[in-house]
Amino acid sequence: MMVQTRQNASLIVGESQRTLQVLRHINKVAQGRWPVLVLGETGTGKEMVARSIHQTNPEGPFVTIDCSSLVGPLMESELFGHARGAFTGAVGAKLGLIEMANGGTAFLDEIGELPLDMQAKLLRVLQEKEFRPVGSLHSRRSDFRVIAATNRDLAKEVERGTFRRDLYYRLNVVTLRIAPLRERKDDIATLVDHFLERYSRGHKLTQDVMDAFQAYDWPGNVRELENCVQQMVAINSGPLLHVGDLPSGIQNFLFTRKSQAMAVCAGAGTVGFTSSDPMRIPPAPEYLPILPLTEMERRAIVHALEYTKGDRGIAANLLGIGRTTLYRKIKEYQLAC
């Protein structure tokens, strides 16, 4: 059964045990004001989780502070604001992000990117709830809930001395780990339905495409899946989308996987591997036969054309060459297809 799990204002979609557990944790932590540290690879949905925590029990504004963009001479004034005339060009006073978050939630995105000197200043705000705008003689107060996110291993950064231990403990009261998509493939079907509903005009995916989605490892996680569906829908009138419509990166991955599986099977023949002996895994061949480059090229082209059932456009894509080059080489090698 397809379950679409939407909680409160959140749009977190998924039905895997991992996602359902994250949703339960969101509901729990939203009831308090503890600092939350959201960890996960890029594109796993960390920002979505942060917004959901805030929206589940909204109080005041939700202010995103992108720590990776806090660089250069203006970063302190971005964060803490500045007094009028604090520096050349500061014609008026400016409110900083920290003050904007007062009474609400500050989402410290990419916290692992925050330079050490700013880490010290942030720690002070979290401890004392006080800060001083650039060029001001007076401290101001700001009290907010903190949700921080990073795709870095902050504990390691602490060991390395690039992240302050005291700030780490202050932020890491509740930890939410968002699993990479390859470890929660039960979410894929629901996510695909969700993105098709959002982006498509009645497109449907073949079972082969769904199988490919299950086989792929999604290094860019949910964001990559979303982009993939968006791209397929945008450039194909459909209504049915096939494996040939997948972005070339995914096709290449599947092609390499298939070639590796075929190489293992070919190797299996030489060591007496039979289907009646499924537990016996053939040893990988130590050497691949060395072939003249032209022969390797010819074989690669034949393989790509077989794999794509003669579709020269996709074959050229997989081979990383232009369509015209492929035509020329087909002629050159006298390949009948």
Is the distance from CB of 26 to CB of 182 less than 8 angstroms?
no
User: Which of 7, 20, 41, 47 lies at the binding interface for Mg ion (CB under 5 A)?
Assistant: 47
Residue 146 main-chain phi, psi, to 5 deg: -110, 125
Which of the stretches 41-49, 83-91, 167-175, 315-323 binds Mg ion when contact is defined by CB under 5 A? Answer: 41-49
**Helices (DSSP H) in 172-247: which residue ranges?**
188-199, 207-215, 221-235
Under rule CB under 6 A, residue 47 binds ligand ATP: yes
Q: Is 217 in the site for Mg ion (CB under 5 A)?
A: no
Per CB under 6 A, the segment of 9-17, 85-93, 165-173, 264-272 that binds ligand ATP is: 9-17
**Between 36 and 191, CB nearer to ligand ATP:** 191
Q: Segment 25-44, which members bind ligand ATP (CB under 6 A)? A: 40, 42-44
The verdict on 66 binding Mg ion (CB under 5 A) reads: no
Residue 319 token pair:
């081979």
The answer to whether 41 contacts Mg ion (rule: CB under 5 A) is: no
Residue closer to Mg ion by CB (options 98, 111) is 111
Please report how close the Cβ of residue 18 comes to ligand ATP at its closest, in angstroms: 10
Count of all residues that appear for the chain in the document? 337
Distance CA 254, CA 103 (A): 50
Q: Is 223 in the site for ligand ATP (CB under 6 A)?
A: yes
Q: How far is the CB of 56 from ligand ATP (least distance, A)?
A: 15
Residue with tokens 């929660």: 184
Residues 225-284 that bind ligand ATP (CB under 6 A): 226
Angle subtended at Cα 141 by Cα 99 and Cα 133, rounded to the nearest 5 degrees: 60
**Contacting ligand ATP (CB under 6 A), which of 26, 30, 37, 48?**
48
Which DSSP category does 239 fall into? S
Position 18 contacts ligand ATP (CB under 6 A): no
Determine the size of the site formed for Mg ion (CB under 5 A): 1
Using the contact rule CB under 5 A, the part of the chain among 44-52, 233-241, 290-298, 303-311 near Mg ion is 44-52
111 DSSP assignment: G
Binding of ligand ATP by 46 (CB under 6 A): yes
The amino acid at residue 155 is A
273: number of Cβ within 10 Å: 17
Closest residue to Mg ion: CB criterion = 47
For residues 309 and 224, give the distance between their C-alpha atoms in angstroms, rounded to a whole number. Answer: 27
- Is 5 an interacting residue with respect to ligand ATP (CB under 6 A)? no
Q: Which is nearer to ligand ATP, 145 or 194 (CB)?
A: 194
Q: Whose CA is closest to 116, among 64, 47, 168, 78? A: 168
Please report, as residue ranges, which positions from 107 to 146 form the binding site for ligand ATP (by CB under 6 A).
Answer: none
Separation between Cα atoms, residue 6 and residue 12, nearest integer Å: 6
And the tokens for 302?
């034949």
Write b or e for each residue in 9-18: b if 16 or more Cβ atoms lie within 10 A of its Cβ, otherwise e: ebebbbbbeb
Would you count residue 188 as binding ligand ATP (CB under 6 A)?
Answer: no
Q: Which residues bind ligand ATP (CB under 6 A)?
A: 11-14, 40, 42-48, 151, 191, 194, 222-223, 226
Q: Which residues bind Mg ion (CB under 5 A)?
A: 47
